[in-house]
Amino acid sequence: MSTQMSPFGALIDLVNFDTYIRQLRNSVTHVSTEIETLKKLFESQETAKKVALRSVIEAKKRVDEAELFLSEIDLTLQAKKKLLDTLSDYKEFRPLKLEIDQIGSQLHEQELLVESAWKILETTEIDSIKQIKKIEDTISDLQKSLQEKTDLLRQKQLELEGNQTKRTAKESLVPDEWLLKYNTMQERVEDPVVPIEQNSCTVCFSHITGNNLLQAKRGTLVQCTSCYRLLFLPAAMESLKNNR
């Protein structure tokens, strides 16, 4: 046989329920913040991956440009040599030979630049492969964490939505006067209902005297004259519950 809940028991049940709902809301906010942080980390890793890939592309581009210029110098050199073979006049031969020697030196310098560009490309590719592997591992971990947090957020949101409808039923069991004061106070503080200890409010420590203390001893909910929280005497409320 079920026992009807006392008015105070109903209030405490509502207080505990609201505390749970508040914790659930805070959890939703916390998980949402974690998700946003993970998204930003994911974006930064994607950017880092693009930078690593771009460094290889840029290194390849420098190799291509160096080899193209080398090819152009070589073609110029070959053309000058062919022209040199056709000359018989020493006056024309000497300056052309000097120009060919200069182009040869330029060709050698460009060959060194091509060789250097290739070494840079090889080093860049090796470093990039290592870096991208590390980035992809991080991205994989972030994706897993993001999915887990998203699932958790969805679960808590559904739980929050499902519990919202229960509050009305719990409110109906609380006396209107208490409910009005409680709803007003819970918008201001997280602990609107607190016990009296040593005839004082356990939050602001204001002393409870006179009629308020007498009412509390009779099992009535009273309001602190300092912080306005709802106060009760645990012993009086327990006595009322036992006498039901």
| Within a domain: 1 | no
CATH of the domain at 21: 1.10.287.1490
Q: Say how far apart CA 136 and CA 140 lie, in whole Å.
A: 6
Domain hosting residue 217, numbered range:
175-242
Looking at residue 4, its pLDDT comes to: 65
Does residue 230 share a domain with residue 124?
A: no
Is 221 strand, coil or helix? coil
What's the total number of domains in the chain? 2
> pTM for the full model?
0.68
DSSP code at position 207: B
Q: Please give, one letter per residue, the 3-state secondary structure of 138-186.
A: HHHHHHHHHHHHHHHHHHHHHHHHHHHCHHHHHHCCCCHHHHHHHHHHH
pLDDT in tens, the chain (244 residues): 345 678 888 898 999 999 899 899 999 999 999 999 999 999 999 999 999 999 999 999 999 999 999 999 999 999 999 998 888 777 888 899 999 999 999 999 999 999 999 999 999 999 999 999 999 999 999 999 999 999 999 999 988 888 877 888 899 999 998 899 899 998 888 899 999 999 999 999 999 988 999 999 988 889 999 999 999 998 888 776 665 5
Does residue 235 share a domain with residue 132?
A: no
Residue 107 in contact with residue 70, Cβ under 8 Å? Answer: yes
Does residue 98 share a domain with residue 122?
A: yes
Q: Which of 166, 200, 233 is the last residue of a domain?
A: 166
Looking at residue 7, its pLDDT comes to: 85
Q: Which of 166, 196, 214 is the last residue of a domain?
A: 166
Looking at residue 236, its pLDDT comes to: 86
What is the number of alpha carbons within 13 Å of residue 87 lying toward its C-beta? 15
| Within a domain: 197 | yes
